[in-house]
Each structure stands twice: as C-alpha cells, then as structure tokens.
C-alpha cells in the first residue's frame, strides 16, 4: 500500500500534472467569464438587432405541457412541463465555446511568439567560422573545430 501511495505522490507532484491542474482551474474560471460575456453582452446585442428576441428563449415545442401553449419564453414552457428543443441555449453554448477557443488561440499564439523570440536570442550566441563554416561561440577567438585563429592570422 505504501508503494502505491508513493508512486501516486510521484505522479501527482510531477510538474506537468500540476500545470494541467492549474490550467483546468483557470480554464473553468475563464469559461464562466466567457459564458457571462455571451449571456450578458453578446446575447442582448443580438436581441437588439433581432427586434428584442432573447437567444436563450429560442426553442421549439415538441410536446405541450399540462396547460398547453403557446409559450412566449422557455421558462414558461419548462414550468408547464413542455418538452422543448432549446436551440437558443445551444447557440449560446456554441458562442461561449467560440469565445473561449479564440482567447485560447490568442494566448497560445502569444506564448509561441515569446518562445520563438527566446530561441532566436539563444541562437545569436553563436557565429559561423569563416574557414570551416562550423557554429562556434560568439566570443571565441579560435575555432575549436579547425583550430584557426578567427582574427584572420
């Protein structure tokens, strides 16, 4: 039993697992922000452009409830026990996904750009030997490959 707990501890404390756990927590928080952005900012704008239609209230009644329709809101239909196809909520979810994935794309693209800049700055620490064309340290005065002095003598 101790061996299993030790192995689990080794697994759980690896950097990648902790990074993933932090990413999941931050991703969950960001998804909440994206949902709020869609529900409280984008949906009202779409509603304004579509003569006051709330995207969350876009639905099709598949079977009427106890008192029957017509239902003007999804909440009314749900309270009456109607079976509905709530495509407006699905559209909100798709829009939330697009917002989250767009921001994830922007973050990954930014991180990749920073990593590329770091790699290019590391590459600038070398130069090419004019005699044997080997990569050598920028401050080298003698090429370690062809052993010639780099000042031309």
CATH code for the domain in which residue 80 is found = 1.10.1200.120
Q: What is the model's pLDDT at position 152?
A: 53
> Is residue 132 situated within a structural domain?
no
Q: What is the model's pLDDT at position 1?
A: 81
Q: What is the model's pLDDT at position 86?
A: 92
Using the predicted structure, report yes or no on whether residue 115 has a pLDDT greater than 90. no
Q: What is the model's pLDDT at position 123?
A: 62
> Is residue 119 situated within a structural domain?
yes
Closest by CA to 141, choosing from 123, 132, 129, is: 129
Q: What is the model's pLDDT at position 84?
A: 93
> Is residue 145 situated within a structural domain?
no
> Is residue 109 situated within a structural domain?
yes
Residues 120-149: tens digit of each pLDDT? 766 677 888 888 888 888 888 888 888 888
Show the CA angle centred on residue 72, arms to residues 87 and 78, nearest 5°.
Answer: 65
Name the pTM for this structure.
0.57
> Is residue 63 situated within a structural domain?
yes
How many Cβ atoms from other residues are within 10 Å of residue 65's Cβ?
17
* Residues in contact with 52: Cβ distance below 8 Å, sequence separation at least 6, in sequence order: none
129: helix, strand or coil: coil
Closest by CA to 65, choosing from 82, 45, 43, is: 82
> Is residue 131 situated within a structural domain?
no
> Is residue 134 situated within a structural domain?
no
Q: What range defines the domain where residue 74 resides? A: 2-124
Strands (E), 3-140: 60-63, 83-85, 126-128, 135-137
Domain count, the chain: 1
Question: Mean per-residue pLDDT for 5-9?
Answer: 83
Question: Mean per-residue pLDDT for 3-30?
Answer: 81
Question: Mean per-residue pLDDT for 32-49?
Answer: 82
Tokens linked to 33: 């922000």
Q: What is the model's pLDDT at position 85?
A: 93
């Amino acid at each position: 039993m101790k061996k299993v707990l030790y192995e689990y501890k080794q697994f759980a404390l690896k950097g990648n697992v902790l990074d993933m756990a932090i990413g999941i927590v931050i991703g969950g928080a960001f998804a909440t922000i994206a949902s709020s952005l869609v529900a409280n900012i984008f949906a009202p704008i779409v509603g304004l452009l579509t003569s006051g239609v709330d995207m969350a209230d876009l639905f099709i009644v598949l079977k009427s409830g106890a008192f029957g329709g017509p239902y003007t809101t999804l909440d009314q239909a749900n309270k009456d026990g109607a079976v509905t196809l709530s495509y407006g909520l699905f559209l909100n979810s798709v829009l939330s996904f697009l917002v989250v994935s767009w921001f994830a794309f922007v973050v990954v693209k930014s991180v990749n750009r920073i990593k590329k800049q770091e790699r290019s700055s590391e590459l600038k620490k070398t130069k090419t030997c004019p005699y044997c064309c080997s990569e050598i340290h920028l401050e080298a005065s003698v090429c370690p490959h062809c052993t010639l002095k780099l000042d031309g003598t």
